[in-house]
Chains A and B, each alone.
Chain A
Amino acid sequence: MAEVQLPEAPSQARVNEFALKLANVNGTGSASTNNLLMQTIFRMGVPVSGKNLFPSNIQGLPTWYEVRVSQSGHTARTSSFDLMVAMNGQTYQQDIQEVASGGYLVYDDSWPLDPEMRRPDITFLGAPLAQLCAQRFLTVKERILMKNVATAGLVAALLALPVDELSKQLVAAYSRRPQLLEDNQAALELGYQHARDNFPCPLPFHVEEVGAPDGRILIDGNTAVALGAVFAGATVGAWYPITPATSVMENFIRLCAQYRRHPGPDGQEGRDYLILQAEDELAALGIVVGASWAGARAFTSTSGPGLSLMQELLGLAYYTEVPAVLVDVQRAGPSTGMPTRVQQADLLSAAFASHGDTRHILLFPSDPRECFLHTVRAFDLADRFQTPVVLMSDLDIGMNDWEVPELTWDDSYRPDRGRLLGTEELERLEQFWRYGDPDPEWTTPRAVPGETPRAGHLVRGSGHDFRAIYTERPDEYQEVVDRLLRKHRAAAAHLPPPVVERREGAPFGVITMGSCDLPVREALEQLPGPEPSYLRITGYPFPPAVAEFIEAHPHCYVVEQNRDAQLRSLLLIETGAGGERLRPVLSYGGLPVTASFVRDRILEQESPQ
């Protein structure tokens, strides 16, 4: 792919505007070092992002951590790095290639580097970290672990990070384990001093403190989803472990343990939640459907393969009109695909999940803050429209720490339970028909089991009429499925509104969703000429603003992270726009899309050579 070279400031001059990458072997404790650096930069008030590129493996394979520091707020992933900390011999060759011209590479010169690998346009900084740690620490395990901490010290010196701040974090982490704390502090100092004594510290690009990151937090999307589920009042969670969704329910478990234990009338502590680790994803969604049917707010979290297994039950919930909240942390498919790589490739299988005519409500958060907000909204939508709602997160949002504005909560919030009738309401009714008496948004009265004999009925996934009674009559069957379609359309008005930025004289529009937001915004700034309009889709079904946006531009680029242009397909199906008006920009290699990729693909099509 031909990268179009745009003038960029030389890396040497960039304070608070650079990217670094740490190459490591997984299972050696490098994650804590990564967090140490990321956290420190965040606390200096400079916008920062950290992307963990890890293998689907427990120990011994390459893993990378990419940190982008950007005063201007461009924290999308980038593919060119000013500083590479290459601590994995297996990947030297590749890592050296990713250093920007004029950049630096730190390596462990306890072992000599093959001269053939050297590049004349970058600076190699060799540090004998393994040797230093071997002298200072006794056991093999200590030497491996402490080398990571020494690396953090070294990077801190190169980037002018306050070593006191790193040290403070170590104290917070190991205050109860004095020996470990002492070792960590020693290793940190070892790396820091070595860099100060031997390297030109700080490097021309480095971090300068801006001030405390007021009103900002560092959080990953899966934690934010779990927090949303707690705040929305979910009481039943069912799940089957799957990367990259596992930490959604693990966090829910942790948060429930923290917030949902209350002493009962007998003084015994009760847990106001029940989380079931199911035998498979079919059971996980089955439990959610059963719990929701019986009145609880219930949810499950999964990723692509789980979504495939859940198809039939999604169809059941859709047709029987039972609420269900499903969080899909998307990864690269098809099949097992690349479990630790990102894609947005479950769009169509989620939108139309299950056989027969089905349509589901989807929400597309673009960062962890929206994961929190949209999770709460997902429960309200599921209850109001008595249907499954799928929160379409992804691995990048779900598992990486993002810097976002602090989450806020309105204490006057109460769940929207839709037309879930209470016992008194049911007993006042002359006759309860589960699928009769639709309101203007085509929802019908709902009753849970166990409340009153007035509500007796049997919901079924087989053909039924408005009374929930089995039918094979065309008119009775169609009355129900036609209402379901109208109900789905009515939901559009209740979804989070799309982000529409129409610009006077825009030559074209750019449409995207979810975690593409940051790289696309950055790309738009880099494009020459009048700035294009921007539309970020936030949910499905689409509100009228989406078709209007497409209509208002001669053509639009649809940027998404899958091979088959699934968002574009959904737009074509739903808006009636002609195919030539929507041009795909597709990134699907499994790494988060970069601004330069988006910029270059658009430029290629705008000025074909």
Chain B
Amino acid sequence: MTSIAKPQIPLLPLERNELGLTIRDYSGSMSTLCAGCGHDSVTAAIQEALWGLSIPPYQVAKLSGIGCSSKTPQYFDSAAVGFNSVHGRMAAVASGAAAANRGLVVVGVSGDGDSLSIGLGNLAHAVRRNVRMLYVIANNGVYGLTKGQFSASADIGSRSRKGEPNLLPPVDPMLLGLSLGATFLARGFSGDKAQLVPILRAGLSHGGFALVDVMSPCVQFNDHEGSTKSFRYVREHELQDIDADIIPVRGQIHSEQTPGAVTEVELHDGSRVLFRAVPEGYDPRDRGRVGSYLVESARRGEIATGLLYLDETTPDMHQLGGTPEERLWDLPFERLCPGSAELAKFQARLR
């Protein structure tokens, strides 16, 4: 099965961004995921976020690991160079790419298996290094490509399609990130683009590692009664905490909700969902209170969404490493090689 080029159906004149580009200029080839897959909405949201920020499409480096979610870099931004790597290692490969070229807009797309099981170690340490990148976990609590095994994010008591309950506690990437010193933690729902796009835009603008956990239900293996990652479950239990209205570097982005109000959102599949808006006094910079809030909402069986934690003061990988403003990969060789005279001097000590 080779990739399918997206048919270019002429529509009404599309809106153009600051670069004069339309959303089409950020598209990829046709998705080969299942019809209705939450991941396609995540792809669309990434595309819209890149377009909205007027990021030149070729400046993006898109990376992924292995799994359904990791197929998605094919489905957006064809002008970018991308790397579909191996299972669980995207965070490391992306760290390397960001190290070589600090000018890249690094976008990593991963899944809950890729990030929270096999790749947990690499994700954790990329968070610690504060690599400047957007890291999206399209989280459905299930292994789709191998047809329905539980992943590490499946909730206790969640049932597989065959009815077996999951007995192990879930890994919550937000709580995990908080303990690792993450600088940007946000959660969205693939069925809620209105909230997700601003979150992704904020993540793309963040000066460090932006970890975005997106509830993205699997229509084949995890969208049934008893699953805590089904569309229905997520809609009923989602608790939106805060607008993604804090955009470092590039100015403010406003989402549609207002504090204290209840917002009704129509999703791509026609269904409607209610979000509770930002609770009074929620401060995404207060690490201790964010932690207890996340634990509390999880205890109530609610999924806290929105921009959950933000720290704009911690230096990123390049600042920590003291690298120059230039990109390392094409620094002039003359600056890198000490030359024969220095080699002779060095060896004087070895005689």
Contacts and interface: CB of A to CB of B under 8 A. Distances in A.
Contact of A295 (B325, B330, B344): B330
A286 B89 contact: yes
B92 A278 contact: yes
A445 interface: no
Nearest to A260: B336
Given A264-B325, A286-B93, A231 B84 contact: no
A525 interface: no
Given A278-B92, A408-B343, A449-B60, A272 B331 contact: yes
Nearest to A287: B96
A218 interface: yes
Interface string B94-126: 111111110110000000000000000110110
B100 A312 contact: no
Nearest to A460: B84
Contacts, number: 245
A524 to B, nearest CB: 29
A43 B350 CA distance: 10
A230 B328 contact: no
Given A271-B322, A286-B85, A294 B343 contact: no
Contact of B82 (A271, A451, A458): A458
B350 A219 contact: yes
A238 B96 contact: yes
B95 A287 contact: yes
B58 A451 contact: yes
Given A276-B129, A283-B125, A457-B81, A295 B331 contact: no
B86 A235 contact: no
Contacts of B125: 278-279, 283
Nearest to A476: B2
A151 to B, nearest CB: 25
A411 B92 contact: no
Contacts of A230: 336-338
A238 B327 CA distance: 17
* Chain A interface residue bracket vs B: 35 or more
A173 B7 CA distance: 73
A202 interface: no
Contact of B78 (A285, A293, A451, A456): A456
A418 B98 CA distance: 22
Interface stretch (A52-60, A83-91, A333-341, A467-475): A467-475
A282 interface: yes
B83 interface: yes
Contact of A458 (B84, B98, B121, B340): B84
A465 B2 contact: yes
Given A219-B350, A290-B83, A459-B82, A271 B324 contact: yes
Nearest to B336: A233
A218 B323 contact: no
A488 to B, nearest CB: 21
Contact of B351 (A213, A231, A471): A213
B8 interface: no
B109 to A, nearest CB: 12
Contacts of B328: 235-236, 272-274, 296
Chain B, interface size category, equals: 35 or more
B317 interface: yes
A272 B327 CA distance: 9
B179 interface: no
Interface string A464-497: 0100011111000000000000000000000000
Contacts of B297: none
Interface in B308-347: 317-318, 321-331, 333, 335-340, 342-344, 346-347
Interface in A92-127: none
Contact of A293 (B97, B129, B317, B322): B97
A262 B338 CA distance: 12
B58 A289 contact: no
Contacts of A382: none
Contacts of A209: none
Contacts of B92: 278, 282-287, 290
A461 B84 contact: yes
Interface in A440-455: 447-453, 455
A596 interface: no
B329 A295 contact: yes
A42 to B, nearest CB: 8
Contact of A291 (B77, B79, B97, B342): B97
Nearest to B57: A453
A415 B84 contact: no
Interface of B: 1-3, 56-63, 73-74, 77-86, 88-89, 91-101, 103-104, 121-122, 124-125, 129, 317-318, 321-331, 333, 335-340, 342-344, 346-347, 350-351
6 contacts: A235-B329, A262-B335, A284-B92, A407-B347, A450-B81, A456-B58
